[in-house]
């Protein structure tokens, strides 16, 4: 990566105590944290591989844009805008990200898309279930499925998923047809998997958090025990700074004895793949919905 090594000064602010609240994280908080770190993971890889020290990756594009702006009499406006797309501006953004990761790691999240914040698991960036007016009357037994999805007043859901309560089990989907084909295919695959999971008990209600796969909580416990999140954060810092950790330093920062570090790091690398995996992301999305709408276990503060 680099001939330079990370020094203690590069890690000012890092403290394992900053991660103590992970013990009490809700599924929603895990979902948001996983999304944030997955974006940074890709960004850090691009930064390390593309934005080489001493080079400006925007130089050729900016020169072309500058010539075009000059031809249109907009040269001054172009010069003013260039500062937003310079290597120096990106470097400042990277350093701000590093400082935030080291000093306050658990408060670093992104403003999420509306489809995630809506509390509706049957929505993606390009596909959304269209609610239908509730056609039934006050049920003898609560309609838990529709109530969990859309809310209820006096035990009567405010909407229903199916077009008809009596006819074929048909639904209507809203689709952003302008989205790229790859996204539409990916989103529908994800939507369908979520629909199958939510309806696996027919209309007896959306599966509760307590019925979720035990491996989710087992994985979270392993992540916390082996300090996966601080490990990811320190790896991000290393990539952003383009500097390696001196031998055994990373393990020491995470509190591992030298004799245990090799095996611990192998385990952590497996956990990184799990943490960033699509299946875990989907389950965390589903569980955060159940947590908010159904049982309220591990409510975020």
Domain extents in the chain: 8-114+213-288, 122-205
Q: How far apart are CA 48 and CA 269, in angstroms?
A: 19
- Alpha-carbon distance of 139 to 171, in angstroms, equals 21
Residue 115: pLDDT band (50, 70, 90) is low
Q: Quick one: 10 exposed, middle or buried, by C-beta within 10 A (0-12, 13-18, 19+)?
A: middle
**Average pLDDT, stretch 60-67?**
59
SS3 state of residue 10: helix
Q: What is the mean pLDDT of residues 101-116?
A: 75
Across residues 63-71, what is the average pLDDT?
Answer: 61
Tens digits of per-residue pLDDT, 205-241?
444 444 456 788 899 999 999 999 999 999 999 998 8
Please check whether residue 287 is in contact with residue 16, taking contact to mean a CB–CB distance below 8 angstroms. Answer: no
Mean pLDDT over residues 198-205, rounded? 54
Q: In the predicted model, is pLDDT for residue 128 greater than 80?
A: yes
- Between 71 and 22, the more confident residue is 22
- Token pair listed for 37: 């770190």
Q: What is the mean pLDDT of residues 41-53?
A: 75
Give Cα separations from 192 to 188, 197, 216, 276 (angstroms): 6, 9, 21, 21
Would you say 162 and 170 are in contact if contact means Cβ atoms under 8 Å apart?
A: yes
What letter does residue 110 receive in the DSSP assignment?
Answer: P
Return d(Cα 123, Cα 115) in angstroms, integer.
6
> Whole-angstrom Cα distance, residue 209 to residue 211?
5
Q: What is the pLDDT of residues 231-282, one digit of tens each?
A: 999 999 999 888 899 988 999 999 999 999 999 999 999 999 999 988 888 7
CB 160 within 8 Å of CB 146:
yes
In which band, very low, low, confident or very high, does the pLDDT at 66 lie, cut at 50, 70 and 90?
A: low
> What is the per-residue pLDDT for 250?
94
| Residues of the chain above pLDDT 90, percent | 26
Q: How many residues would you count in the chain?
A: 301
Q: What is the pLDDT of residues 175-197, one digit of tens each?
A: 999 888 888 888 888 788 778 77
179 versus 118: the higher-pLDDT residue is 179
Mark out the alpha helices in the chain (DSSP H runs).
27-50, 59-71, 75-82, 87-103, 114-117, 144-150, 181-198, 214-225, 228-241, 249-253, 258-275, 278-290
Chain centre to alpha carbon of residue 44: 15
């Amino acid at each position: 990566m680099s001939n330079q090594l990370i020094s203690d000064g590069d890690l000012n602010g890092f403290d394992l105590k900053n991660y103590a609240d992970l013990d009490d994280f809700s599924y929603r908080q895990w979902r948001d944290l996983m999304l944030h770190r997955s974006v940074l993971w890709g960004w850090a890889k691009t930064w390390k591989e593309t934005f080489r020290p001493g080079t400006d990756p925007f130089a050729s594009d900016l020169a072309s844009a500058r010539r075009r702006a000059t031809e249109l009499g907009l040269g001054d406006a172009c010069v003013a805008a260039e500062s937003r797309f310079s290597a120096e501006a990106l470097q400042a953004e990277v350093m701000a990200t590093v400082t935030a990761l080291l000093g306050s790691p658990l408060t670093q999240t992104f403003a999420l898309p509306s489809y995630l914040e809506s509390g509706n698991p049957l929505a993606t960036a390009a596909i959304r279930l269209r609610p239908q007016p509730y056609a039934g009357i006050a049920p003898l037994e609560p309609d838990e499925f529709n109530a969990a999805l859309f809310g209820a007043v006096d035990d009567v859901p405010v909407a229903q998923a199916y077009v008809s309560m009596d006819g074929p089990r048909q639904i209507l989907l809203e689709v952003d047809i302008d989205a790229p084909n790859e996204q539409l295919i990916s989103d529908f695959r994800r939507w369908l998997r979520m629909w199958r999971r939510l309806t696996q008990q027919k209309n007896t209600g959306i599966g509760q958090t307590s019925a979720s796969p035990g491996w989710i909580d087992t994985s979270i416990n392993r992540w916390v025990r082996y300090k996966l999140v601080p490990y990811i954060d320190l790896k991000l810092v290393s990539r952003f700074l383009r500097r390696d950790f001196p031998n055994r330093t990373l393990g020491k920062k995470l509190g591992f004895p030298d004799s245990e570090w090799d095996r611990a790091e192998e385990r952590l690398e497996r956990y990184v793949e799990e943490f960033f995996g699509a299946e875990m992301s989907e389950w965390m999305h589903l569980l955060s919905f159940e947590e908010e709408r159904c049982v309220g276990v591990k409510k975020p503060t």
